[in-house]
Chain A
Amino acid sequence: MSVSTSTAVARIRSARHSSDVRRLFACVFGFLVLAVMTGPSGSNLAPTSGFTGSLLHPRVFVFIALGVALWAIITAQHRWGEAIKHASDHVTALPRRVMPDRRVRLAFYAVLLAVAIVGPLHVNAFWQDVLVDQIGIYVLLAIGLNVVVGYAGLLDLGYIAFYAIGAYSTAFWTGALPVHPPIVLNAFWAIPFAIATAMLSGVLIGAPTLRLRGDYLAIVTLGFGEIIQIVATNLQGVTGGAQGVIGIPHPAVNLLHVHYTWLIDPLPYYYLLLAFVVLGLIAYSFLEHSRVGRAWTAIREDEVAAESSGINVLKYKIMAFAIGASTSGFAGMLTASKISFIEPGDFTVQLSILILVLVIFGGMGSLLGAVVGAAFLQWFPWYLKEHPLFGFQPEDLYIYLGAILVLTMIFRPEGMIPSRRRKREIGLAEHGVGTADAMSSSQAPVS
């Protein structure tokens, strides 16, 4: 008896051993592929230089080391998963334990805000531009998409279409398009029009499509994103076509005693953006903890039960869609008037996916997560561009983002700074209760 037990144990051990080895090979191989993908391209004269340049180069060791590191993490998770989870929960719960008091938390946010106000004054012009064009705008886009994906659980892959609509309606109202508006406004007064147009198109697109669930909605929104871009390219007489629109004016305020014009200096745009991001964060956090936010949670968790509890599911979904769309439209307005040039190529489906990655990485349904996720992922490539590391090239950005998304989904599906509700839902889904995920269709539990 004891003999058979010990052989069984040995067999289990060796099985585990061989699966560990296989996993090591898989990880290293995966990173070698990444090394080739991110390495130099081949040429006609030296067809194999793409391989030799990336594999027979010292940087290959970096990728092998990364592969081994990933293997070590996975293996550790398999062996001591529970213990690690426990420890990491302990660490992530720390801020909450340190800041149980509302006043302490408010003070923390005040410090963050102070840094956000004073910080940009001390960086150079290049980084000020990055702060506005790459970080600020994307933070705004991420908190808007967070309402759609994180709160209401709707997988929207055409989010950037509303950004385009905001940008083009700004161009329209400021008279920069081939078609002219009834009255030409400056970009500042075009804000309400841009927001309203984006919101209206959110409602128009949402009303018929939001009856669909899960994957179907994702596909329809993906198509919608494509359509907007193609329309912008081909409707030459209205949108200016593929060459884009030039000469969109900067915003300006002339009201009683306030006269101000935004020019090319990025800082004023930064503060305008910051003001709206802060307002958005406050408003959306109120929204999350209100009747509306709870109705979204109910819909996300169990549509049938939500309907039976008197919640008009379609209305709330359209609401989330419209709020996301208007945020996106506002971001589009800001971009258009700051850069004063837009073209259809600015509004690719890739960008929709990028923003989704920002939200998932930060933590779906978590406002702080969306901000931190967007800020980090948008800052890091530019940092690497300034301080090149292992020959990183900005064109390869999407390869790394893809890897980050996959790794996030495997190791921390709730995101870096998870929302408490979302984390619970994902935990429950892993145990086969519910389908609490925007990524899953209405039936099968995730995991």
Chain B
Amino acid sequence: MTMTVETPPTAVAGDIMVDIEDVSLSFGGVRALVEVTVSQARGELLSVIGPNGAGKTCLFNCLTGVYHPQRGSITFRGRDGGSTEIVGRKPHRVNRLGIARTFQTSRLFNALTAFENVKIGIESRQHTGPVGAMLRLPRTRREEREGDARATQLLEFVGLRARANELANALPYGDRRRLEIARALGTNPQLLLLDEPAAGTNPAEKADLATLIRRVNNEIGVTVLLIEHDMGLVMSLAERIIVLNFGRVIASGTPAEVQRNPAVIEAYLGAPADDEDDGRTAADRTTDDGE
């Protein structure tokens, strides 16, 4: 257990969905994550912040099965109540559990249309095999129709219906971000991990994105874990914030609490907070250090 965690581990009482316990990950001598313990309640909109290189994306990669931490466990409790260990599972099997993600630099299927991108997400939950596909069996055709309908619905939800037939590569940055969210939603997740969704977007796109994330959380009921450098976005969206620095959780709490936390201010400014910092918080200053 880390000594620096100031809020009690059970910050949010109730239905815990993800339980990251004592996770440590290192690459050779580099300690990317050190004894990280975080839990997230079902339906909660939790944000992970921290300076560049703090281990935020590493944490995502552990959560999605891309990296396997040397120590610790990550348990996921699905809607059906059963809890599953994530460490050691392959990415696609983690996705099957109901955890979907987007990437820091968007990784869309560039030569496919927006519609096809979303459909690939949806189809990972369908059952047609190669034989059914080659013979175009009734089930294949039914699934195809269902997939089309759902893809249209999801594109509508993220506001890209009009651009359904454009190539993913031709879409502007903000649209690419939203398309990635639509593709992830296609896999019907319970938990959505967003890795810097606002990076590289303009203020108008940012506002749209904030609305979209809130709707994903409220309307579809997806639990959201958000990595973001844009403090305005984080402070307005997150119910709770976890701060990482050098792979350790250095603080957690509500946006207001985190903004006042001296350890956070030190992590961002590299020096102990002094008197002249009264009016402004560290978080305000670091608004644009993304990318």
Residue ranges of A at the interface with B (Cβ–Cβ < 8 Å): 283-284, 286-287, 290-295, 297-298, 301-302, 304-313, 319, 323, 421-422, 424-425, 428, 433-434, 436
B84 within 8 A of A: no
B144 adjacent to A290 (CB under 8 Å): yes
Q: How far is the CA of A310 from the CA of B94 in the complex (A)?
A: 8
Q: How far is the CA of A428 from the CA of B120 in the complex (A)?
A: 20
Contacts of A422 in B (CB 8 A): 111
Q: How far is the CA of A343 from the CA of B91 in the complex (A)?
A: 45
B11 within 8 A of A: no
A421 adjacent to B129 (CB under 8 Å): no
- Which of A293, A304, A428, A434 interacts with B133 by CB under 8 Å? A293
Chain A minimum-CB-distance residue to B124:
A310
B134 adjacent to A309 (CB under 8 Å): no
Contacts of B64 in A (CB 8 A): 308
B133 adjacent to A309 (CB under 8 Å): no
A362 to chain B, nearest CB (A): 19
Q: How far is the CA of A230 from the CA of B66 in the complex (A)?
A: 40
Known: A308-B91, A309-B95. A291 touches B107 (CB 8 A): no
B107 adjacent to A304 (CB under 8 Å): yes
B143 within 8 A of A: yes
Contacts of A298 in B (CB 8 A): 109, 112, 120
A433 adjacent to B169 (CB under 8 Å): yes
Chain A minimum-CB-distance residue to B64:
A308
B83 within 8 A of A: no
Contacts of B100 in A (CB 8 A): 308-310
Contacts of B110 in A (CB 8 A): 301, 424-425, 428, 433-434, 436
B123-154 CB contacts (< 8 Å) to partner A:
123-126, 128-130, 133-136, 140, 143-144, 147
A310-B121, A310-B125 known, 13 other contacts, Cβ within 8 Å = A284-B134, A291-B126, A294-B116, A297-B120, A298-B120, A301-B112, A302-B107, A305-B109, A308-B101, A309-B95, A319-B130, A421-B112, A433-B110
Contacts of B140 in A (CB 8 A): 290-291
B167 within 8 A of A: yes
B187 within 8 A of A: yes
A3 to chain B, nearest CB (A): 44
B133 adjacent to A291 (CB under 8 Å): yes
Residue ranges of B at the interface with A (Cβ–Cβ < 8 Å): 64, 66, 90-93, 95-96, 100-101, 103, 107-112, 116, 119-121, 123-126, 128-130, 133-136, 140, 143-144, 147, 167, 169, 183-184, 186-187
Contacts of B116 in A (CB 8 A): 294, 297
A310 adjacent to B109 (CB under 8 Å): no
A310 adjacent to B92 (CB under 8 Å): yes
- Which of B124, B144, B169 interacts with A309 by CB under 8 Å? B124
- Which of A310, A323, A428 interacts with B169 by CB under 8 Å? A428
Contacts of B134 in A (CB 8 A): 283-284, 286-287
Q: How far is the CA of A2 from the CA of B77 in the complex (A)?
A: 74
A292 adjacent to B91 (CB under 8 Å): no
B123 adjacent to A291 (CB under 8 Å): yes
B64, B95, B130, B186 pick with most chain A CB within 10 angstroms: B130
Q: How far is the CA of A436 from the CA of B168 in the complex (A)?
A: 14
A313 adjacent to B92 (CB under 8 Å): yes
- Which of B120, B128, B136, B169 interacts with A311 by CB under 8 Å? B120
Q: How far is the CA of A304 from the CA of B94 in the complex (A)?
A: 13
Q: How far is the CA of A293 from the CA of B66 in the complex (A)?
A: 24
Contacts of B167 in A (CB 8 A): 424
Contacts of B183 in A (CB 8 A): 309
B130 adjacent to A307 (CB under 8 Å): no
Known: A290-B140, A292-B133. A425 touches B92 (CB 8 A): no
Q: How far is the CA of A311 from the CA of B112 in the complex (A)?
A: 16
Known: A310-B96, A310-B124. A305 touches B111 (CB 8 A): no
Chain A minimum-CB-distance residue to B106:
A305
Q: Which 10 A-B pairs have the closest CB atoms?
A: A310-B124, A290-B133, A283-B134, A310-B95, A424-B111, A307-B91, A305-B107, A425-B111, A291-B123, A301-B109
